[in-house]
Amino acid sequence: MSEQPARPEPVIVLLAPDGRVTGWSEGAARLFACDAAEAVGAALPALLGRPGAAEPLAAALKTAASGRSWSGVLPLSGDGVSVTCAPLACADGGTSAVLTVSPPWAGGLELLNEAGRRIGSTLDLHRTAREIVSVTVPRFADAGAIYVLERLLADDDHPGAGDQPAGEADGSVVVRRLAVAFAEDDPSDWSREFPVGEVIVYPPSTPYARCVTGGAMVEFGGDAVQDTMATRTGRVIDGLLDHVSLLAVPLVARGRALGFAVFSRKRGRLPFAAADAALAAELAGRAATCVDNACLYRREHRTATALKAGLLPAGLAVPPGLEIAHRYRPARSGVGGDWYDVVPLPGDRVAVVIGDSVGHGVTAAAAMGQLRVAAHTLVSCEFPPAEVLERLDSIAQDLDAAQFATCLCMVCDPATLRCELACAGHPPPLLALPDGTARRFAFPQGLPLGVSDADHPPAYEQLEARIPPGATLAFYTDGLVESRMRNIDQGIARLASALVASRSASLEDTADGVLALLSDQQGHDDIALLLIRPAAA
């Protein structure tokens, strides 16, 4: 068996309130090249020959004495080390502190590894921005914020917006603040001064505009903070000018600027060095990819939602002799291809079509739109249900090769309640009877649209059936009956029970009751529900 690599010794230092060393781990001895005999009893900054660390260390110890932990960078070695200073109760009732040091050779790598695990866990843009600042504050910076160009977020953005220059014509940039985080020892009311969602215009002379238009990181100090942040409120915010070392880092992905990140460190702590700038650039590069993915998803989701909203019928024509109630619930994670239609036919008959184009997003919504329009046209021409599906299958063959769809078509005569049905791989309709039972309505099996060989198109079977007086006929898509928790047969059985339990004099109330009883089923996929009942005499 191969030998496992030795784990690095933890770097732990116990400190008295005045900064004297009371405990010294083996890891501390290795990192600082000083054994415990020499370290215990000495003031830590003097021991390490780092007098500049005295002031920030005193601030950390003061925070620990109040019962809170402090995290940040202290100039104890090289360009500084990341530390956590936590309170430690003593046996005599007093309080000291335990200083846990992240070795300089591991801190940057650990931060990048954590960023890789935590940033981009979803395609939600605002959550992605919050993940970026939560990873970097307070480990890397005392404050951080993410800004994205407003034109990438505006609801009226137009095609090609991503190819436009990052700045406005005069070099200014218009951005929206998506996330902000401050160290615990900053004023708690700063969130009111820097609200998430605020849209800001930064003039071309500001570091923020320069980093976006130039595509390069800009390092600046406290004066620029006052000029670009405090003055927009008409006053200097208490404590803001304590942030004296700042980095404005462009967020660039696929060759285009998306916005920028800001990181700052306070007076008394180690300013950003060259190694920090390199780490910030690496973090921003990874974050920008996640932000870009979230922006692309947001745009596609909005496009698909608008497309589908325009294609689904706002209202259905209800012929004499029937009651119809319909519901559509989009998926939380994306827009799918569920669709339905009710088409009046000559002789007071009515055609009902319901289908589901596989997949999510614009492709599924576009396929759904083409199939729905084609189905509407075919049933309006009074083709029988089986021929409607055969012609739809031929149309589906010409769509994207990765697309296929299920569909069910029915033509009903409200006067006799006789129906003709044909099915292309769609879940079976259910019939809720007046006696409080429910069963599957008669329907033929058939291949989904678009999956057969184009040279050997399927011949769809057509059946005749009759809706019993007082019964409710339910059409639906698989999002209402299928999930990771149960198979489709179990889901259909649950829907049948819900139809019986929700039976009401009002078909609209019945539809609402079914969705309420199956609320745990909703969200992972689009849902369409269509209820039909003979009108009371």
Selection from 363, 371, 375, 300 nearest residue 336 by Cα: 363
Closest by CA to 279, choosing from 112, 133, 106, 139, is 112
Round to whole Å and give the CA distance between 280 and 272: 10
C-alpha to C-alpha distances, 264 to 34, 51, 55, nearest whole angstrom: 32, 23, 18
Tokens 């079509």 belong to which residue? 353
Name the 3-class secondary structure at 250.
strand
Write down how long the chain is.
Answer: 537
Backbone angles phi, psi at 492, to 5 degrees: -65, -40
> Which range scores top for mean pLDDT: 60-64, 334-338, 368-372?
60-64
Name the pLDDT band for 224 (thresholds 50, 70, 90). low
| 413: confidence class by pLDDT, cuts 50, 70, 90 | very high
Give the sign of the dihedral formed by CA 324, CA 325, CA 331, CA 335. Answer: positive
- Closest CA relative to residue 264, chosen from 175, 424, 143, 406: 143
How far, in Å, CA of 261 to CA of 255, rounded? 17
A 10 A CB-CB count for 25 gives 18
Cα within 13 Å of Cα(339), Cβ side: 34
Which residue, among 18, 133, 15, 138, has the nearest Cα to 70 in the 3D structure?
Answer: 138
- Say whether pLDDT at 474 is over 90: yes
SS3 for 521? helix
Beta carbons within 10 angstroms of residue 235's beta carbon? 10
For the segment 50-71, the average pLDDT, to the nearest whole number, is 89
| Residue 482 binned pLDDT confidence (cut-offs 50, 70, 90) | confident
pLDDT for the residue 308: 62
Residue 356 corresponds to which tokens in the numbers above? 């589901």
User: How confident is residue 401, by pLDDT bands cut at 50, 70 and 90?
Assistant: very low
Asked whether residue 64 carries a pLDDT value surpassing 60, the answer given is yes
> What is the rounded average pLDDT of the residues 292-320?
72
Q: What is the phi/psi pair of residue 182, to 5°?
A: -130, 155
Residues 6+ apart with CB under 8 A from 444: 421, 422, 423, 460, 461, 462, 463
**Which domains occur in the chain, in start order?**
12-101 (3.30.450.20), 108-304 (3.30.450.40), 312-534 (3.60.40.10)
Distances (CA, A) of 400 to 394, 404, 443: 13, 8, 28
Looking only at the bridges linking them, the beta strands covering 70-74 and 199-202 are: unpaired
Whether the CB-CB separation of 244 and 219 falls below 8 Å is answered with: no
Of the two residues 29 and 297, the one the predictor is more confident about is 29
pLDDT at 317 over 90: no
pLDDT band at 71 (very low <50, low <70, confident <90, very high): confident
Inform me whether the pLDDT recorded for 267 exceeds 90.
no
Listed residue (71, 105, 130, 110) closest to 266, CA to CA:
71
352 neighbors 475 (Cβ within 8 angstroms): yes
Contact assessment for residue 197 and residue 177, using Cβ atoms and an 8 Å cutoff: yes
Q: Could you give the strand order of the β-sheet that contains 256-266, starting from the edge strand earlier in sequence?
A: 199-202, 173-182, 143-149, 256-266, 243-253, 218-221
Are the CB atoms for 329 and 519 separated by under 8 Å? no
Convert the pLDDT of each residue in 114-169 to its tens digit: 887 888 878 788 888 899 998 888 888 888 999 999 988 875 444 344 444 555 66
Nearest to 52 by CA among 77, 35, 32: 77
DSSP-derived secondary structure for 391-435: HHHHHHHTS-TT--EEEEEEEEETTTTEEEEEEEBPPPPEEE-TT
Place of tokens 């951080």: 144
Q: Do 375 and 355 meet the contact criterion of CB atoms below 8 Å apart?
A: yes
- ∠ CA 59-62-67, nearest 5°, is 135
The token pair that represents 163 in the structure block = 């190819």
Please give the structure tokens belonging to residue 498: 């819900």
How does pLDDT run across 19-34, given as a tens digit for each residue?
Answer: 899 999 888 887 787 8
Residue written as token pair 């603040």 = 177
The gap from C-alpha 239 to its chain's centroid, in whole angstroms, comes to 34
Evaluate whether 188 touches 208 at the Cβ level (below 8 Å).
no
Whole-structure pTM value: 0.53
